[in-house]
Amino acid sequence: MTKILGISGSLRAHSYNTALLRAAQALAVPDVTLDAATLHGIPLYDGDVEQREGLPAAVTELKQRIVESDGVLLVTPEYNSGIPGVFKNAIDWLSRPSADIARVFGDRPFALVGASQGGFGTILSQNAWLSVLRKLGARHWSGGTLMVSRATQVFDENGAIRDEAISRQLGDFLRGYAAWIDGARR
């Protein structure tokens, strides 16, 4: 069984990216479990707080969930043509202390998907993530891409995917990513 942890990079209650993560969870992909995480409760990174109090509980919990997974799916919005600050902030916390980077990120399979209301999906955000993942020593799966554009037309008012082609693409993406993780473990 391949265990993937999906992390939504949005805090919004009706986020298209959280809806995309939920849709991925709802897909029946054989031999894959997909757990979902949010960034709620993770404060702004402050080195003084880290030194004085250590890692916040929300960071420690998310870090442990990553360590227990076979792969991580970052479901990223795109803000101002880049990585959302709240998402990058969480990764910065997760990389602390620096001696822990290899345990959390090192050689761990990561993949990127995202949804936006614009016409280009999340291409710039996903590209911006590549240098961050490389710096942390994570392995990025480049065997598939999923950048959902015009999300207002793809999701209904309850956050369900109403576009069958996108649903198929999401299933294909997950199957390909899971197969890559499984192949890397052998």
Tokens at 84, concatenated: 């959302």
Q: Tell me the pLDDT tens digit for each residue of 85-132.
A: 999 999 999 999 999 999 999 999 999 999 999 999 999 999 999 999
Q: Which helix (H) or strand (E) holds 60?
A: helix 57-67
Q: State how many domains the chain has.
A: 1
Query: Per-residue pLDDT tens for 124-169?
Result: 999 999 999 999 999 999 998 999 999 999 999 999 999 999 999 9
The CATH number assigned to the domain holding 153 equals 3.40.50.360
- Containing structural domain, residue 128: 2-185
Rounded Cα–Cα distance for residues 183 and 59 (Å): 29
Whole-model pTM: value is 0.96
CA distance 60 to 53: 12
Structure tokens at 4: 């993937």
Alpha carbon 157 to its chain centroid, in Å, reads: 23
